[in-house]
Amino acid sequence: MKLIGPFKQIVTLANLPLRGKLSDEQIDIVVDGGIVVNDGTIQEIGNFETLKYENQNINIETIEGQQIVLPGLVDSHTHICFGGNRANDFAMRNAGKTYLEIAESGGGIWSSVQHTRSASEEELLKTLLERINFLIALGITTIEVKSGYGLDVENELKMLRIIKKAQGQTEAKLVPTCLSAHLKPRDFEGSNQEYLEYILTEILPKVKEEELATRVDIFIEKSAFQPEESKDFLLKTKDLGFDITVHADQFTPGSSRIAVEVGAKSADHLEATIDEDIDFLAKSDTVATALPGASLGLGEKFTPARKLLDAGAIVAIASDWNPGSAPMGNLIIQASILATFEKLTTAEVLAGMTFRAAYALGLEDIGKLEAGKKADFVTFKTDNFQNVLYNQGSLKAENVYINGNQVH
101, 199: one domain: yes
Angle between helices 331-342 and 121-138 (to 10 degrees): 50
* Per-residue confidence band for 98, with pLDDT thresholds at 50, 70 and 90: confident
Question: In terms of domains, do 265 and 326 share one?
Answer: yes
Contact between residue 351 and residue 73 where contact means Cβ atoms under 8 Å apart = no
Residue 256 host element (H or E): helix 255-261
pLDDT (average), residues 147-163: 98
The predicted model gives 185-191 an average pLDDT of 97
Q: For residues 61 and 85, state if they share a domain.
A: no
How many structural domains are present in the chain?
A: 2
Q: Are residues 81 and 127 in the same domain?
A: yes
Examine the domain organization and report whether 62 and 207 are in the same domain.
no
How many CB atoms are closer than 10 A to CB 92? Answer: 17
What pLDDT does 103 receive?
A: 81
Residue 99 has pLDDT above 80, yes or no: no
Q: What is the structure's pLDDT at 47?
A: 98
Tell me, yes or no, whether 385 and 351 share the same domain.
Answer: no
Say yes or no to pLDDT of 51 above 90.
Answer: yes
Confidence of residue 105 (pLDDT cuts 50, 70, 90): confident
Q: Would you tell me how many other CB atoms lie within 10 Å of the CB of residue 62? A: 9
pTM attached to this predicted model: 0.97
Which of 360, 377, 395 is the last residue in one of the domains?
Answer: 360
Reduced to 3 states (helix: H, G, I; strand: E, B; else coil), residue 267 is strand
Are 306 and 223 members of one domain? yes
Least confident of 104-108, 227-231, 274-278: 104-108
What whole-number percentage of the chain has pLDDT above 70?
100
Question: Distance between CA atoms of 399 and 381, rounded to whole angstroms?
Answer: 9
Say what the pLDDT of residue 369 is: 98
Residues 162-182 pLDDT 10s: 999 999 999 999 999 999 999
The CATH number linked to 45 is: 2.30.40.10
Q: What is the average per-residue pLDDT within 31-52? A: 98
CA distance 386 to 250: 30
Residues 96 and 27 in one domain: no
Q: Higher-confidence residue: 100 or 392?
A: 392
pLDDT at 125 over 80: yes
* CA 59 from centre of chain: 34
Based on the domain organization, do 178 and 276 belong to the same domain? Answer: yes
Mean pLDDT (the chain) is 97
- What CA–CA distance (Å, rounded) separates 138 from 380? 10
**pLDDT one-digit tens code per residue, 294-347:** 999 999 999 999 999 999 999 999 999 999 999 999 999 999 999 999 999 999
Mean pLDDT of 243-261: 97
Domain enclosing residue 107, as ranges: 73-360
Q: Please tell me the predicted confidence (pLDDT) of residue 107.
A: 87
CATH of the domain at 248: 3.20.20.140
* Whole-number pLDDT of residue 326: 96
Looking at residue 7, its pLDDT comes to: 98
Alpha-carbon gap, residue 257 to 290, rounded angstroms: 16
Residue 100 has pLDDT above 90, yes or no: no
- Asked if 285 and 139 sit in the same domain, the reply is yes
Residue 168 sits in the same domain as residue 309? yes
Model pLDDT, residue 104: 81
Cβ atoms within 10 Å of 95's Cβ, excluding its own = 7
Residues 38 and 87 in one domain: no
